[in-house]
Structure 1
Amino acid sequence: MNRIIIYFRFYLEKTYFCSSNAKTKIVKTNRLRGLIKKYLIGLSVMVFFFFNSCTPQAPETNTKLDSYTKILYSKPSSQVLDSLFQQAQLDFSDSAQVDIMLKIYKKTIRSRPIRHDILDTAIFLAQKINYKIGLADGYNKKGLNYRYALDYQESVDYHRKALHYYEQTTDTFGRIKCLNSLGVSLRRMNYERNAMDHYIEALRLSRLINSDRSIAVALNGIGNVYVNIEQYQQAMPYFREALAIEQKSNNNRGINYDLSNIGEVFMYQNQYDSALNYYSKALEIANNLNHKDNASIIYNCIGKLYQGKKQYEKSNIYYDWGIEKFKEFGGKRYLSNTYINMGVNYNRLSNSRMAKKYITEGLQIAQEINSRENIILGFDALSHYYEKEGQYDLALYNYRDGIALRDSVNIEKTKSHIAELETIYENERKDNRIKEYQYQSELENRRKLTLWMLISFLVIAVFVLFYLYQVKRRNSKLEMEQMRNDIQEYIQRLEDFEIQSKERVSLEKEKSKKAIDENIETEKDIFYNNVKKYGLSEREMDVLLLISEGLKNDEIAEKLFLSVSTIKTHTRNIFIKLDVRNRIEAARKAQKP
């Protein structure tokens, strides 16, 4: 501040001296112009020295940041990280302190124990100074913590907070990571529709900044949503595109993930040899990278593969290898799935004691973490177990629980919404290509277009002037009034004619519709009167009507919004009441009066 006052005083003295000597040499206008010019120069000098005096010493701060960065890249122990955290609170202030704390926290994830207090401190400081990038990064990491703890609802809440702050910054890459993380948590909660929204937005932004890694992550997310809703053919192109991108950039971790996803799709399509080929490649990469968590997940997948091939003992060997690793790194969702599938295998091997033990333990973990797909799997497994043991009441109880939970997932709405979103996204991409082409064309033809527009403007101007001159010369007030009246009368006639035409068309449509409806109702009534004598319920008559139209069970179930098993039950009852043996006889008998 003293430096500013000195420069300001120097400026005033110099300005006053110059203006007093110039009074006799220049005219009044030039003197005023010179004073304004000198004032602006002096103000610029003051502003420069003001900011220079207020700006922190950057070289010193950069030196400290470099020293912290070197320590963090040297794989420090938990004690060293704790010391860095304490020292950072003294060495830095404002946004630099938040950034260095987030880096220290990230290192604690590897070195263990994870220091959640460091993350909370960073978020608190970011809130205090309204540091939006720090808040976004902090909340995003908080969301990841809750996801790893299998608390997906909290994870979604924190990721949404992070996304709110990312949208207020220019950090597009951070926003993409947040969108992909949010998609994972929503997918784990079986909110496929919302997950797809976020993956598509992440893919759009990734293509915009040309980030191959982010594009691959988003593509895998979209593919996994399709796997969740059992649309395997739609999932495969996304996984293959992601694999091509990762192979191009030689990212082994990404390649490992993509190979596993492709293997999973082949497995669900019962193409076991192809699936095993991809799983083996993925397992080899995971072992080379020493990624035990990925290796254990692949063991689980291979176990499921051999389960599909009905090689239950071999399947349990792979499941058992995976369980040890899942317990080690806390993968409860996969652990639950593995326990239940091992129980299923033991049940098929007629080892009832081990079957019930593993199924019950897996179902308990699934309910603890609210994993809906594993809960459904557990109820189905228990139902089959009790059915095999002859305890049909318990089998029916577990079967009903599984059906109730499965029906709560509205897969059909998700499929239609995803198809709609995908169409919108593809249309946007096409529109962007068209706009790009148009922009390039405009650049090439700008000179011609400018000349054409100039000529057109001149022609239009001449035409307008000539028209106005002719109107003023030829038309009188009476002629204009008469013309207006004639036009109004003509318009009125047209409107009357149009109204009459519309009324005739609407009447004809109503008559034809009414005739069609009466015909349909008459045919339906005749059918119901024919079959009413057999004592069929209303729902059974609906089913019989669709059978007579040649529909299959799954098509009838879709039309009546019932399960296939319910349709089969109605069909059996119809056969009994009509005393027929098959669908053809039932249809013939229903048509007889």
Structure 2
Amino acid sequence: MAAVIQINAKDYAEIDSLLRPIRRDEAAMDKFILEAKKVNYYEGLTYAFIQEGLAHRNVSEYPEALESLNLAIEYAERCENVDFTVIALNMMGVVHRRMEEVREALDYHKQALELAETKGSATKTGMRNIAVARNSIGNIYISLRQPELAEKEFVESMKIEKKTSNDLGLAINYQNLGSIYEERGSLDSALLFYRTSRDYNIKINSKLGKVICNNSIGQVFIKQKRFKEALGIIKPTIKDAEEIGDQYYVAMANLNYGWALLEEGNIEESRKFVMRALGQSKERNMGYFEAESYRVLAEISEKRGDYKEALNYSKKHSESEEKYLNEANQQYVADLILKYDSERKKNQIGILEKENEIANLKLADNQKIFIIAAICLSVLAGIFFFVYRQNRLRREKEFLALEQKMMRSQMNPHFIFNSLNSIKLYIINNEKDKAVYYLNKFSKLIRTILATSKEKDITLQEELDTMELYLNIENIRFSNKIKFEMKVEDGIETTGIRVPSLILQPFIENSIWHGLSSKEGLKIIKMKVSRYSNKEFLIEIEDNGIGREKSKEIKANKTLNNKSIGLDLTKQRLDNYFKDSEKEHSLEIVDLSDIKGEACGTKIVLKMPLKVKSA
């Protein structure tokens, strides 16, 4: 220890190699700090307080960690060593990220990256600082739901780690890339990255790294419904995390183990571990794990039949998540503003310098500048108008493309051919009256579809009439066994309300072919129009079919699967149609069940603002 002070080492890596044997010895490091203060050995003091902050962080003592790291930054500035300052700034960012303080975390990592890239050294320490900053910024982008931006940062960080042969850095980056692929639903790819990260952690004998990787692998196993494997790999990490003493990962392991128990069906045991994770999260202000704990507890309460408690936990989950995500979104905007302000200040400095250079020019030069500025403004105005016009044309093109997709969806060739075949069967069976009756209805439906396709919207009454006509045609193939009931609440002026044309057809189609087609016995579709408020109304479409889950099972067992795009197109059309409305629209799909809890149908609840004119 005395030798370090006598040598007066200035490089972080050199000091680390000399003090490594005692850096986890609190008493020894306190003694070193006292000796270093006597001789104003600022580099040594910076290193010591960085290690002290790291020790506090690793046991989730975040306020104490911030206090130590603030001292580290103070001493780093005294010794005017950029590498030391960057390391301390990155450490500060990590602590704030652990505390879910995204704004502060991003600010510290941005400062670290800017310093490292502009004034940092070209040594391994300097390059490592850039890699750490990029990796940390990538983690923040993940929390801001920006996986593409995060992936770029991780890839850039990994390039540096490979160049410097830093196995720890590679382990961290492979782990983070795995989280991106897990978020995207590419579970096999995520497992590959997680296992690669674990291999590096085994190589460097990082117990904490193995805890993190095994929890991530366990999460993927849960999503793949490999519950026993998930329990087997997560359970040992609880003890390992407790031995390490980092409460952040203790909470993570308890939560994941509780989640796996829940999915396996061990509800009571699951609740014990999740409650433990919740307590640890609240105590250490770990917002993400707190929100996730409430989410799992809501599922547990629901499976226990305690719906009141389930609702309470669900609300707490929403509140916790909303608080965190709102802060994250605000920080993302704040970061953009910060970047913009920085660039603007640089530009202002440049402008002031130029103004100083031309202060003695003649009036003629000023006139030239004025003319050039006027030309530039004219050009900018022209560019602005062109961009505005192009954007408007693009939006119109997107709307037309959406309407064309809708038409192709509504004018399904299978529906047309099947309808004609059904009518043909009446003719073959010499049932001329029925053939003529349904042929008239079919031709009327086709004319209606073609006519309404030219309009952006139609009256609600026209839409209801068209849907009744459509259902009559479809009902031919069910030997008219589908009973259709329509009710319009008193006071609803269906002839004065405007809706997008053929907007209800996909819901009727789904009720028939996914709900009623496989049902035995009485088949019913009910449609109800009612007032929700002075400026909103509801359309409810209910069937007594087999329900969505059973329909999915039947569909999965079929050799061929046709992907329906009707509902997706309908949602897009509703978003486009009501984008300028004062009130919001909503679409809710409700799975109905009987007193035994068995599926007995599906209900569509569509809330729309009242529109009384064609847009």
Q: TM-score, normalised by structure 2?
A: 0.55
Deviation at 1:309, TM superposition (A): 2.3
Q: Distance in 2 between matches of 1:274 and 1:297?
A: 17
Give the one of 196, 202, 205 matched to 2:112. Answer: 202
Contact 1:95/1:126 (CA < 8 Å) preserved in 2?
no
Match of 2:99 in 1: 189
Rate the CA distance shift 1:553–1:265 in 2: closer, same or farther, 3 A.
farther
Q: Distance in 1 between matches of 2:27 and 2:244?
A: 21
Give the one of 185, 192, 198 matched to 1:283. Answer: 198
Rate the CA distance shift 1:588–1:403 in 2: closer, same or farther, 3 A.
closer
Q: Distance in 2 between matches of 1:381 and 1:286?
A: 30
Match of 2:271 in 1: 356
Q: Distance in 2 between matches of 1:196 and 1:554?
A: 37
Listed one character per residue, the Cα deviations across residues 332-362 of structure 1 (whole Å, up to 9, x for unaligned) are 2122122212222222222112211221222
Q: Distance in 1 between matches of 2:577 and 2:72?
A: 48
Q: Distance in 2 between matches of 1:414 and 1:408?
A: 12
Match of 2:80 in 1: 170
Listed one character per residue, the Cα deviations across residues 488-533 of structure 1 (whole Å, up to 9, x for unaligned) are xxxxxxxxxxxxxxxxxxxxxxxxxxxxxxxxxxxxxxx9xx99xx
Deviation at 1:581, TM superposition (A): 6.6
Rate the CA distance shift 1:553–1:323 in 2: closer, same or farther, 3 A.
farther
Matches within 5 A, 1:110-129: 114-127=24-37
Contact 2:15/2:44 (CA < 8 Å) preserved in 1?
no
Deviation at 1:301, TM superposition (A): 0.8
Contact 2:531/2:537 (CA < 8 Å) preserved in 1?
no
**In the alignment, structure 1 residue 411 sits paired with structure 2 residue 328:** yes
Matches within 5 A, 1:228-247: 228-247=143-162
Q: Distance in 2 between matches of 1:261 and 1:181?
A: 18
Q: Give 3-state SS (helix, strand or coil) of 1:310's partner.
A: coil
Rate the CA distance shift 1:428–1:225 in 2: closer, same or farther, 3 A.
farther
Give the one of 248, 265, 270 matched to 1:333. Answer: 248
Structure 2: which amino acid aligns with 1:367?
A: K
Give the one of 215, 219, 240 matched to 2:134. Answer: 219
Structure 1: which amino acid aligns with 2:283?
A: E
**In the alignment, structure 1 residue 310 sits paired with structure 2 residue 245:** no
Contact 2:46/2:75 (CA < 8 Å) preserved in 1?
yes
Contact 1:327/1:335 (CA < 8 Å) preserved in 2?
yes
Percent same amino acid among aligned pairs?
22
Q: Distance in 1 between matches of 2:37 and 2:192?
A: 50
Matches within 5 A, 1:245-284: 245-284=160-199
Q: Give 3-state SS (helix, strand or coil) of 1:250's partner.
A: coil
Q: Give 3-state SS (helix, strand or coil) of 1:167's partner.
A: helix
Structure 2: which amino acid aligns with 1:193?
A: R
Of stretches 320-329 and 336-345 in structure 1, the one that deviates more from structure 2 is 320-329
Contact 1:200/1:425 (CA < 8 Å) preserved in 2?
no
Q: Distance in 2 between matches of 1:250 and 1:101?
A: 20
Listed one character per residue, the Cα deviations across residues 267-315 of structure 1 (whole Å, up to 9, x for unaligned) are 1111112111112222222222222221221111111112222322222
Contact 1:102/1:119 (CA < 8 Å) preserved in 2?
no
Deviation at 1:182, TM superposition (A): 0.5
Deviation at 1:370, TM superposition (A): 2.4
Listed one character per residue, the Cα deviations across residues 100-130 of structure 1 (whole Å, up to 9, x for unaligned) are 9998864234xxxx43233333434555565
Rate the CA distance shift 1:117–1:289 in 2: closer, same or farther, 3 A.
closer
Q: Distance in 2 between matches of 1:103 and 1:554?
A: 65
Structure 2: which amino acid aligns with 1:252?
A: D
Deviation at 1:587, TM superposition (A): 4.9
Q: Distance in 2 between matches of 1:212 and 1:421?
A: 25
Match of 2:313 in 1: 398
Structure 2: which amino acid aligns with 1:107?
A: P
Contact 1:101/1:118 (CA < 8 Å) preserved in 2?
no
Listed one character per residue, the Cα deviations across residues 60-96 of structure 1 (whole Å, up to 9, x for unaligned) are xxxx96xx57xxxxxxxxxxxxxxxxxx9xxx79999
Q: Distance in 1 between matches of 2:68 and 2:154?
A: 28
Rate the CA distance shift 1:166–1:101 in 2: closer, same or farther, 3 A.
closer
Deviation at 1:369, TM superposition (A): 2.4
Q: Distance in 2 between matches of 1:350 and 1:555?
A: 44
Q: Give 3-state SS (helix, strand or coil) of 1:408's partner.
A: helix
Q: TM-score, normalised by structure 1?
A: 0.57
Structure number with greater Rg is 1
Match of 1:108 in 2: 22
Contact 1:553/1:568 (CA < 8 Å) preserved in 2?
no
Match of 2:411 in 1: none
Number of equivalences: 396
Structure 2: which amino acid aligns with 1:283?
A: R
Contact 2:59/2:247 (CA < 8 Å) preserved in 1?
no
Q: Distance in 2 between matches of 1:233 and 1:588?
A: 39
**In the alignment, structure 1 residue 157 sits paired with structure 2 residue 92:** no
Rate the CA distance shift 1:343–1:216 in 2: closer, same or farther, 3 A.
same
Q: Does 1 or 2 have the higher relative contact order (CA < 8 Å, sep 6+)? A: 2
Structure 1: which amino acid aligns with 2:102?
A: E
Rate the CA distance shift 1:246–1:549 in 2: closer, same or farther, 3 A.
closer
Match of 1:444 in 2: none
Is there any run of 5+ residues in structure 2 with no aligned partner, and where? Answer: 351-356, 363-492, 498-529, 540-570, 591-602
Matches within 5 A, 1:79-98: none
Rate the CA distance shift 1:193–1:95 in 2: closer, same or farther, 3 A.
same
Deviation at 1:223, TM superposition (A): 0.4
Q: Distance in 2 between matches of 1:395 and 1:248?
A: 51
Deviation at 1:217, TM superposition (A): 0.8
Q: Distance in 1 between matches of 2:60 and 2:273?
A: 21
Structure 2: which amino acid aligns with 1:206?
A: A
Structure 2: which amino acid aligns with 1:187?
A: R
**In the alignment, structure 1 residue 143 sits paired with structure 2 residue 53:** yes
Q: Give 3-state SS (helix, strand or coil) of 2:78's partner.
A: coil
Matches within 5 A, 1:475-494: none
**Cα RMSD, aligned residues only:** 4.8
Q: Distance in 2 between matches of 1:288 and 1:430?
A: 49
Q: Distance in 2 between matches of 1:543 and 1:125?
A: 76
**In the alignment, structure 1 residue 297 sits paired with structure 2 residue 212:** yes
Match of 1:494 in 2: none
Listed one character per residue, the Cα deviations across residues 46-67 of structure 1 (whole Å, up to 9, x for unaligned) are xxxxxxxxxxxxxxxxxx96xx
Deviation at 1:366, TM superposition (A): 2.0
Q: Distance in 1 between matches of 2:142 and 2:128?
A: 21
**In the alignment, structure 1 residue 551 sits paired with structure 2 residue 575:** yes
Structure 1: which amino acid aligns with 2:113?
A: L
Q: Distance in 1 between matches of 2:538 and 2:89?
A: 46
